[in-house]
Amino acid sequence: MTHKNINLKLKVWKQKNSKSAGNFETFVVKDISTEMSFLEMFDVLNERLIGEGKEPIAFDHDCREGICGTCSMYINGRPHGPWHATTTCQLHMRAFNDGDTIVVEPWRANAFQVIKDLMVDRSAFDRIIQAGGFISVNTGNAVDANSMPVEKDKADASFAAAACIGCGACVAACKNSSAMLFVSAKVTHLALLPQGSPERRTRALNMVAQMDKEGFGSCTNTGACEAVCPKEISIENIARLNKEYLMAGLTLEK
């Protein structure tokens, strides 16, 4: 692919904090290499703004390797941008054309309050994990890897669910701001492994209860969450969560 530089117009959401009103501000960036990542383009813009004595655009980032999930933002109305199964930090500027206008916004969900500009508070996910996304283990000597056999299909499904990075794209894409894909991935990851058995009866109940407490909406069954997930987490996990929740309720009632 031929390397080239492009010029772009950015319409970026600026908001001082969760209590203040926000608005879009327009920025023009020139000579942006198509080999830059989207966040590197923001780095160039922020360096220029700081040099001009202006306030830079606040956005989350950490690993920049598609692992941590903190780089979350809407790009032209789609979580993480136009490329399928790609985080914002792995999105490259060759996805855009010279002269394009790019609209960038933070996640829009009651449970994800804006901290500043493109940064949102996703600690609601942490509290959901604390409610049941853990296992009871003996912290003595390491157990031999082959001492606890796991069926391959269950291991594969568990590992696929464990790929969830908690970015919140599923919530952002859902018209009800549901966190069901996130919660179902975390429940599935542990429910399919024998190590997850001790808390299995209460895990789904507690995590769903915390999800509701945080203000996330109910599942819409439209599949928008799966479509934008950078790790391609399947909505089959939501069906498994519903089963785990139902079975836990029936078991604990006895």
What residue segments make up the domains of the chain, in order of their start? 5-105, 123-253
Tokens of 32: 């942006």
Count of all residues that appear for the chain in the document:
254
CATH architecture of 123-253: Orthogonal Bundle (1.10)
Give the mean pLDDT per block of 10 residues along the chain (254 residues).
86 96 97 97 98 97 95 97 97 97 97 97 97 82 75 95 97 97 97 90 95 97 97 97 93 63
Q: What is the pTM of this model?
A: 0.93
May I ask the CATH class of domain 5-105? alpha beta
Tokens of 254: 């006895």
The CA distances from residue 101 to 8, 9, 97, in Å, are: 6, 5, 9
Tell me what pLDDT residue 100 has. 98
Where does residue 2 rank: exposed (0-12), middle (13-18), buried (19+ CB within 10 A)?
A: exposed
| Cα gap 162→241, rounded to integer Å | 14
The answer to whether 137 touches 195, Cβ cutoff 8 Å, is yes
Strand (E) positions, the chain? Answer: 5-14, 23-33, 74-75, 78-79, 101-105, 114-116, 119-120
Tell me what pLDDT residue 65 has. 95
Tell me what pLDDT residue 139 has. 67
Tell me what pLDDT residue 91 has. 98
